[in-house]
Structure 1
Amino acid sequence: MPEVPEKFNTAMTTWQEWQDAPWGRLRYAIAEANLARHLDGLGGGPLRILDVAGGDGGDAMRLASRGHHVTIVDYAPAMLAAATERASAAGLTELITCVRADVTALPADLADGEFDVVLCHNLLQYVDDVPGTLATVLAPLKRGGLFSVMAINRHSAALNVAVREMDPAAALAALGTDRLRTQMFDSTLTLHTAEEIIPLLQSLGCLDVRHYGIRSFCDYITDDARKYDPAFYADLEQLELAASARPPYMHTARLFQLTAWNGTHEARP
């Protein structure tokens, strides 16, 4: 959809404000913690990481600050410009590479890149062909490498509407649809569940799939102003981290994150 990159370009200010808000900070902090559970299984040295649809580098900057080399692929020039700027400001220029490309047609050097880790965070809700997209973004991952996919959790949609908007009729309607309209990027999203994506990953050769939830509580606490209090936020972050891999909380979290190993039967942490 060619209009999507332009919408990302024009919504940059709103997007960056969202990232700085408590819910945005939680999204990145919890995703990083979930990845950290597994990165040691790839050895102690710097890793080569491909961040597909990586935007302005929210995930990439955290991983580069750990010493890893991250290639960000995105189709929106404003996002990549912001990522380059962030890398420079953080002194991470040598560890961050930005490539403008369509994720469905990666350049050959990336498609055959044999990366240690591939991230596919918040892309699936924008694409029509989910199995094909997953196959494409898995192709650059070396055997035994770590894959991470994240998307908005459809199970959270009705609960989110009922709690935050106090609109049971709208919540009832949300139970019967997989569509969600986002004001930030003026787009209609397709919502998925972890239970739908896990078999797709397994059919593509992924093993030991782990299911995590991101923002299991934050989005259902209606006092958003209080989340800006540092002490409250610190307690909330600890709660979210503790619940990330604990059932039943990840099943109704606002986002789901799945990690998996690419075609290896070796024991992994």
Structure 2
Amino acid sequence: MRFSGAEGRWREGLGSLRDVVRQELVTRQLAEHLPITPCRVLDVGSGQGTQALRMAARGHRVTALDASRELLDVLESGVQPGMRVRTVQAEAERLGELFEPGGFDAVLCHGVLMYFDDPGPLLAALAGMLAPGGMLSLLVRNGDALAMRPGLLGDWAGAQRGFDEAYYRNRIGVTARADRLADLTRRLAVTGLEVRQWYGVRVFTDVAPDGAPVPGDLEELLAVEERAGRTDPYRAVAALTHLVCHAGG
């Protein structure tokens, strides 16, 4: 996976405006779909553990898997008494070796698929982790709007490439891949997963500078981003697409 080695750049962005908007919106969107009763959650590519820790704080039993020891250390430092969190250092490709099929009620995979040239095997592995009726939360780079960021920043050559190409250079300096909603929906259907809802994440704030601080009117900003992320046509041009899928049964 191409993310390896970029942990330092990733950590530099934690707590910035773009990071806060992403994490807050995903949390709010997930809240509509997770059961109230405690369930078994697997967070694949958990990174620093923002979502894993929030799931554990709600009483869910969380397994967080990431290849980076550095980021898992950050996650573990945030575990509070009473939280049920297990961390596993391993590549996402090893899911089938590490866990029994059908062992989780919910699987999160946020910002991971973009680092795989062929998403098919990972999507199949994620689907295999779900119990019947389980939920997959998938956050990907929006391939339908890949020209938006460079276009808004005046990078016309980058915008031209975004219309036709699936690859781009991201903010942490890694070449990554974007997914188009229709194509990803078809790929998920092959694995037995149905997209029940999808959202946009970072419609208005994606072009904020690296390290931009959180403004004083954050709650107003989040309210606007949250509404745009569930409303057409705005959600279709967001930087990220958040899909909520369910397994058969």
Taking structure 1 as the reference length, the TM-score comes to 0.85
Residue of structure 1 in register with 2:176 after alignment: 189
2:198 corresponds, among 211, 217, 231, to 211
Residue of structure 1 in register with 2:117 after alignment: 128
Deviations, residues 159-199 of structure 1 (Å, cap 9, x unaligned): 111112x1323311221211111352x32111112221111
Is the contact between residue 127 and residue 193 of structure 2 (CA under 8 Å) also seen in structure 1?
no
Is the contact between residue 76 and residue 100 of structure 1 (CA under 8 Å) also seen in structure 2?
yes
> 1:80 deviation in Å?
1.3
Residue of structure 1 in register with 2:215 after alignment: 229
Counterparts of 1:92 and 1:15 in 2: how far apart (Å)?
27
Residue of structure 2 in register with 1:152 after alignment: 141
The answer to which of 105-114 and 137-146 deviates more is: 105-114
Matched, 1:22 2:7: no
Is the contact between residue 107 and residue 129 of structure 2 (CA under 8 Å) also seen in structure 1?
yes
Which amino acid in the other structure matches residue 43 of structure 2?
D
Aligned ranges 1:73-112 → 2 under 5 Å:
73-87=65-79, 91-92=80-81, 94-106=83-95, 108=97, 110-112=99-101
Residue of structure 2 in register with 1:254 after alignment: 239
Residue of structure 1 in register with 2:63 after alignment: 71
235 and 78 in structure 1: CA distance in 2 versus 1, 3 angstrom threshold? same
Is the contact between residue 72 and residue 96 of structure 1 (CA under 8 Å) also seen in structure 2?
yes
252 and 104 in structure 1: CA distance in 2 versus 1, 3 angstrom threshold? same
Structure number with greater CO (CA < 8 Å, separation at least 6) is 2
> 1:58 deviation in Å?
1.7
Is the contact between residue 8 and residue 76 of structure 1 (CA under 8 Å) also seen in structure 2?
no
Taking structure 2 as the reference length, the TM-score comes to 0.91
Is the contact between residue 179 and residue 189 of structure 1 (CA under 8 Å) also seen in structure 2?
yes
Residue of structure 2 in register with 1:61 after alignment: 53
228 and 80 in structure 1: CA distance in 2 versus 1, 3 angstrom threshold? closer
Aligned ranges 1:171-186 → 2 under 5 Å:
171-184=159-172, 186=173
Residue of structure 2 in register with 1:34 after alignment: 29
* Unaligned residue ranges in structure 2 (runs of 5+): none
Counterparts of 1:196 and 1:54 in 2: how far apart (Å)?
25
> 1:93 deviation in Å?
6.7
Please report the RMSD computed on the Cα atoms of aligned residues, expressed in angstroms: 2.2
Which amino acid in the other structure matches residue 47 of structure 2?
G
Counterparts of 1:97 and 1:107 in 2: how far apart (Å)?
17
236 and 183 in structure 1: CA distance in 2 versus 1, 3 angstrom threshold? closer
> 1:129 deviation in Å?
2.1
Counterparts of 2:72 and 2:51 in 1: how far apart (Å)?
13
> 1:203 deviation in Å?
1.7
Is the contact between residue 153 and residue 194 of structure 1 (CA under 8 Å) also seen in structure 2?
yes
Is the contact between residue 6 and residue 174 of structure 2 (CA under 8 Å) also seen in structure 1?
no
Counterparts of 1:66 and 1:122 in 2: how far apart (Å)?
22
* Unaligned residue ranges in structure 1 (runs of 5+): 265-269
Counterparts of 1:37 and 1:179 in 2: how far apart (Å)?
32
What SS does the aligned partner of 1:19 have? coil
Counterparts of 2:82 and 2:206 in 1: how far apart (Å)?
34
> 1:157 deviation in Å?
2.3
116 and 192 in structure 1: CA distance in 2 versus 1, 3 angstrom threshold? same
The answer to which of 92-101 and 45-54 deviates more is: 92-101
> 1:128 deviation in Å?
2.1
The answer to which of 198-207 and 103-112 deviates more is: 103-112
What SS does the aligned partner of 1:229 have? coil
Structure 1 outlier segments of 4+, above 3 Å: none
Residue of structure 2 in register with 1:8 after alignment: 6
What SS does the aligned partner of 2:200 have? strand
Deviations, residues 92-151 of structure 1 (Å, cap 9, x unaligned): 574111001221122645243521100111111111221111001121110001111111
Residue of structure 2 in register with 1:267 after alignment: none
What SS does the aligned partner of 1:39 have? coil
